[in-house]
Amino acid sequence: MAYVDFSGDTLFATPAAATPVVEAAEPAPTGLSALEWSVVALAQRDRMASLREPSPLSIALGRVFGTRRRDPNLADPKLEALRRMAVLSWHRGFAVPVHELAAFFAAGFNADQYETMLASIGAVQASRKARA
């Protein structure tokens, strides 16, 4: 039986630099934080009108008659994008405007988080219908 030493043969050797190093990517979050879930829960009470800016006439009438509408917008832009999407989802389900969905994703949320939020909202609405 013959022995052939291939360790010195450059034909079969693979240089270490040619081997690609693949780092494990951190998985995208699929859920929401406790603060984000509280924003979704609070958005349940908001009306669709909270998504619109008040007109100049309504601002003027509010100043004249002393009725001031509270500002429903949140200070954090990411949480405000979540609130807007949650209000739309509570009222319309999956039928949300494309520009609102794009703003939601631009704020740092992903499709899995959107679907998790919608599944939660749908479960709450289904349980309400079952009780009624």
Residue 86, in any domain of the structure: yes
> What range does the domain containing 77 cover?
30-46+73-131
pLDDT at 14: 55
Q: Tokens 């951190």, residue?
A: 26
How far apart, in whole angstroms, are the C-alpha atoms of residue 110 and residue 25?
15
Q: How many domains does one find in the chain?
A: 1
> For residue 55, is it within any domain?
no
| Residue 7: both structure tokens together | 């360790």
Residue 17 lies in a domain: no
Amino acid at 48: M
- What is the pTM (predicted TM-score) of this model? 0.70
pLDDT in tens, 45-99: 988 888 887 778 877 777 788 766 666 788 899 999 999 999 999 999 989 999 9
pLDDT tens digits, 90-131: 999 989 999 999 999 999 999 999 999 999 999 999 998 888
